[in-house]
Structure 1
Amino acid sequence: MTRLRRLARAVVRRTRGLSRWQLAGLIVIVPLALGLGQVAAVVALAAVLYLSHRIGGANRANQEAVRELRATVEQLQRRVIAAVEKERLAAGDRHQEVTEAMARTERLTGRGAELLLREQRQEIEALFQLFQAVTPRAPMPTAGPGLQPTDLLGLVHVASERRPGLTVALGCGPATVWLGYALAGSGGRLVAVDHDAGRVSVVRGLLAEHGLSSVEVRQVAPAELEVEGRTVDWYDVEQLDGLTDIDLLVVDSALAPVAAEPLAPALHVLGRRLAVGAAVVVDEEPRVAPRQGGGFGLTVRRRLPGRWAELTQAVATTPV
């Protein structure tokens, strides 16, 4: 307060010496200076507000950018984790495959190799027995896929042992030639039935080379057949006329036109045409159950060498 009083007294003393024009200018300048100060203050406040708004916008933009970056990073992390997990599973599968391959190799080099050698020895022994039982007049055909010397030995053995009068083989191939030789000594008749024209032509040529003119090969077209309320693909029944009193029936499922259970349609058509004491040789376990009031009654008499089984008591209800 004391300083303000002194300042006021000094201003009054100095203004006393001013002229009227000087006083008037001072009166105009002072309010104008005060107004300019207010304007400057307002401008400064506006500038501060503008800068605050810009800074706030920049801050929000930075936050949005940070959020987008965080989302991108999280998405990338998920992709990396998924890729790593996929590779881990693939590596596990490969490890399992390698382990199984090593196990197979160990079996082959250990007991597996011994088993393989035993099977090969059995096939070689069967081949020697075949050529002891049969004296071919021409080079014998190879066994073919799925047919081994032990399989051929089983057919030749049952044919030589039973000495059937009429043998019907459903399906023809290299086994037809071996069966023809086995039956030739006893004067038996062999009729081979097949639906494949190419196979029939090849087998007929082989039989001619070996001089087995008594063997008949019939090409029978496939046709639908009703068996136990269902329709299956089998041979045309009308082309099987004349085949009665069959002593030996051979059913080769690998060559039959029916895809599954070839024994059922064979017995449905030819079962009642079997002679007394006839046998059925099939290369699969029978799946036909006995029935009351007729039907098929099958029992496995014995296992033959190779894949064959000899069945007995094969009876069909009605001939077709």
Structure 2
Amino acid sequence: MLSRRKLLAASGASGLMPFAARAQETWPSRVIQMVVAFPPGGQADVAARPTAAALERVFGRAVPVVNRPGAGGILGSASVARAAPDGYTALMALSSLSVLPESERLMGRVPAYEVAQLAPVARITADPTVLLVSADAPWKTLEEFVSAARAQPGRITYGSAGNYSTLHVAMAMLTGAAAIDLLHVPFQGGGPALTALLSDTIQALASGPGPALPHVREGRLRALACWGRQRIPGFEAVPTFIELGYREVEFYIWSGVFLPAATPAPVQEQWRQALRLVCAEDAALQRALQAAGSPLAYQDGEAFRQFMTEDTARLTRAVQRIGRLD
């Protein structure tokens, strides 16, 4: 069983034992919230819930997941950016975190937050998105889907977690590369968009593999292609867009933990050590993510910051290609 004793030992190994000893009495001394900026059921939720449960075993405090959806993830992310920098409010974010401020500027609005207001602590997962249609849909391959879209421009509908969300950006990459016109239907999160696909309210969706996998296994949905450089575990029969000739169509939904930027460095380090510990040693967390089709892809420190820098630049270019949405 993981415990605060291991966390304190890890902190001591990194030269933080004086702080850690004080933190045993002063931090954490109350409930810690992990905010998800989307409704339950989406990719951020899939990562947040087992991670929060594992952190409870280390911190010795409740770590409830709080869903604060709205504006494609803007409202929940902004709430953490403005939260007290005391380590008691964290954000489990998706890759859309880095492009939403740019989308706000495109719309002529002042962004509700800037990425610089949030401190990256650790990446938890990094999954390619999967193109889904209903199992009852007439398209059994990507080629059939693209041919139908070209024959019916603007008629085939697809959902997303909101304008400029990760799911929207992924589909925009596909529509640009394939020269097709699809009708975008934004929702408040990946969970509601997936529900809409299951109920035939929409006809297609780019989804993280975790939420999609159970429905594909049950035969309710069909996966046509994935945005990864390699095929995804659990979706071994599903080709990548790169394999199918769309060499520029590559996209990942990553999930990561962030704190308000002004959170003291020792508290950030306590979080980082705790996340590193549970991701390395908590079997329940590892099993939960694996079973959800979203295995661990842990990264922290300079590696995560560099990953974010490169990913933000790539996604910002994609959002700028989408342009202003009136």
Tell me, yes or no, whether TM beats 0.5.
no
TM-score by length of 1: 0.22
- Compare CA radii of gyration and give the structure with the larger one: 1
